[in-house]
Copies of this chain bind each other. A is one copy, B any other.
């Protein structure tokens, strides 16, 4: 009953590229082990928490005579968290690996993410089923979910279900949290003398699961390119119509990698980076001014159009807004009865202004009226402000507009300002994976099979030297404990994989800083166009600019 489009049909035929070492007959791939490792930080604490899995060596796969186990095995796989292009190819690489080693091996997909594991809700992934999903986007084969595996009770249920299914190993495809949980699960299994192995795979379009061993998380490449396609189209529309300023909000709640990559690809007039805003303790007014200055300088050239990129999480990185939201949450919950009887909108706003601290009163007063209303009217079931619903694109556009009106009255600005808002998120999470993501994911999956076949647990599948052609990638496994440090979460110190925010000293951001002043005032837009899967290699086989700059090609 499924409808197959021409592109989907053509993508079924695509054979993902593997590193040379992995192209060998599996009897000729050996796992080379390095020396003992340490965690990034807090070594003593983490060692104590991971007594069975701490300090394992980095593993890399090379040509040689294999010492692998080729008996039939049973492996379970789960997708955890938000969709990212290429998830199906991780499963395909894993599937092909275990079947190549032994046709009697079985792969089970737990449905709906970690909850499928808790409820033993699974399907066997057969060859026919697998073939329907090769090189496709989405997680629809087995779906995903956001249940967190954290408690001992959950681990016991997972262990029980895994035993019932006679699983040899579990592959967890997820972001930093899911891989942290994978590490804890691997340790737990060992502590219970269970031989069940746990292997992680680095997924997230946000690009924030990244370090010296995980050069990028999968999905980032495709998602960023899809957004860049749209931003480029809009920039071309802006410079054709010459009458709108487009405010484009992009996915990225905590890290701004996507906004930065899209900026590098499309050259917008302004791109805000949450990490910079936070580090420099920028006020809302200074963010608004940065945009308005570009608008004014361009208006002097007769260009009343432009493009602004805004990471989704920006507003929470502005210290004064964070403070305002905290106060509003307290205030409305403490004085709920007093506040709720006021029906006149203006009186409500007046009441709020009278009850906030002086600094927050000023910030609140500076906001456009619709945002003032949104902040006091739209509450979640706990009475809290719903930050994620605040339309940052409209907020900034409205405040830039007020700034310009003032500048106009003072004779400093004579342009016309017509803003339009956009938000791109769901458009990119389930695109057909780019060739890079298709290859990378398939290799990640195949590598996770090799890690399993070599009896390893508590590892994350890793491909390095990703700036090179796929044949030159280095496949291996990184001990999950190695990527950890201790962080406070909900008031408790926890071992976690460090989230990779945009490094303000890193090459991608530094490159952006060197060039952004020119972009602010020139029309130097670049138009990446739609992701191409066929055609010239420079069009269809390149990774992101972030990766390229980080690896300093």
Q: Is the CB of A234 within 8 A of B530?
A: no
- From 313 to 356 in chain A, residues with beta carbon under 8 angstroms from any chain B beta carbon are 343-346
Q: Tell me if A22 is interfacial: C-beta within 8 Å of chain B.
A: no
> How far apart are A416's CB and chain B's nearest CB, in angstroms?
14
A432 to B, closest residue via Cβ: B529
Residue of B232, B233, B432 touching A428 (CB-CB under 8 A)? B233
Q: Tell me if A532 is interfacial: C-beta within 8 Å of chain B.
A: yes
Interface size class of A (residues with CB under 8 A): 35 or more
Residue of B233, B346, B527, B531 touching A427 (CB-CB under 8 A)? B233
> How far apart are A243's CB and chain B's nearest CB, in angstroms?
10
When A6-B536, A542-B6 are in contact, do A233 and B529 touch as well, CB less than 8 Å? no
Q: Which of A56-64, A132-140, A357-365, A498-506 contacts B (4 or more CB under 8 A)?
A: A132-140
Residue-wise, chain A 531-544 has the 8 Å CB interface mask toward B (1 for contact) of 11111101110100
Q: Tell me if A129 is interfacial: C-beta within 8 Å of chain B.
A: no
> How far apart are A58's CB and chain B's nearest CB, in angstroms?
33
Q: Is the CB of A240 within 8 A of B524?
A: no
Q: Which residues of B contact A345 (CB under 8 A)?
A: 343-345
Residue-wise, chain A 1-32 has the 8 Å CB interface mask toward B (1 for contact) of 11111111111000000000000000000000
A228 to B, closest residue via Cβ: B5
Q: Tell me if A143 is interfacial: C-beta within 8 Å of chain B.
A: yes
Q: Is the CB of B233 within 8 A of A527?
A: no
Give the distance in Å from the alpha carbon of A168 to the alpha carbon of B532 in the complex.
42
> How far apart are A61's CB and chain B's nearest CB, in angstroms?
31
Q: Tell me if A39 is interfacial: C-beta within 8 Å of chain B.
A: no
When A345-B345, A535-B534 are in contact, do A430 and B237 touch as well, CB less than 8 Å? yes
Q: Which residues of B contact A140 (CB under 8 A)?
A: 236, 239-240
Q: Is the CB of B10 within 8 A of A522?
A: no
A542 to B, closest residue via Cβ: B6
**Residue among A345, A431, A530, A540 with the highest chain B CB neighbour number at 10 A:** A530
Chain A binding surface, main DSSP class: loop
Q: Is the CB of A427 within 8 A of B230?
A: yes
Give the distance in Å from the alpha carbon of A534 to the alpha carbon of B143 in the complex.
31
Give the distance in Å from the alpha carbon of A428 to the alpha carbon of B8 in the complex.
21
Q: Tell me if A164 is interfacial: C-beta within 8 Å of chain B.
A: no
Q: Which residues of B contact A40 (CB under 8 A)?
A: none
Residue-wise, chain A 493-530 has the 8 Å CB interface mask toward B (1 for contact) of 00000000000000000000000000000101111111
Give the distance in Å from the alpha carbon of A382 to the alpha carbon of B144 in the complex.
51
Q: Is the CB of A533 within 8 A of B531?
A: no
Give the distance in Å from the alpha carbon of A426 to the alpha carbon of B234 in the complex.
6
Q: Is the CB of B240 within 8 A of A527?
A: no
Residue of B241, B431, B522, B525 touching A233 (CB-CB under 8 A)? B431
Q: Is the CB of A420 within 8 A of B426?
A: yes
Q: Tell me if A83 is interfacial: C-beta within 8 Å of chain B.
A: yes
When A233-B426, A426-B422, A542-B6 are in contact, do A534 and B531 touch as well, CB less than 8 Å? no
Q: Which residues of B contact A233 (CB under 8 A)?
A: 137, 226, 426-431
Give the distance in Å from the alpha carbon of A3 to the alpha carbon of B422 in the complex.
24
Q: Is the CB of B528 within 8 A of A7?
A: yes
Q: Which residues of B contact A246 (CB under 8 A)?
A: 426
Give the distance in Å from the alpha carbon of A526 to the alpha carbon of B432 in the complex.
12
Q: Is the CB of B137 within 8 A of A527?
A: yes
Q: Tell me if A267 is interfacial: C-beta within 8 Å of chain B.
A: yes
Q: Tell me if A100 is interfacial: C-beta within 8 Å of chain B.
A: no
A536 to B, closest residue via Cβ: B10
Q: Is the CB of A531 within 8 A of B530?
A: yes
9 further interface pairs, Cβ-Cβ under 8 Å (given A2-B524, A139-B240, A432-B530):
A7-B529, A83-B241, A137-B236, A137-B527, A138-B237, A233-B428, A236-B430, A532-B532, A534-B539
> Can you list 6 A-B contacts (CB < 8 A)?
A229-B530, A233-B428, A233-B429, A233-B431, A422-B426, A534-B539
Pairs A-B, 6 closest by C-beta atoms: A534-B535, A530-B530, A138-B236, A236-B430, A3-B526, A7-B529
Q: Interface of A with B (CB < 8 Å)?
A: 1-11, 82-83, 112, 136-140, 143-144, 226, 229-230, 232-234, 236-237, 239-242, 244, 246, 265, 267, 343-346, 420, 422, 426-432, 522, 524-536, 538-540, 542
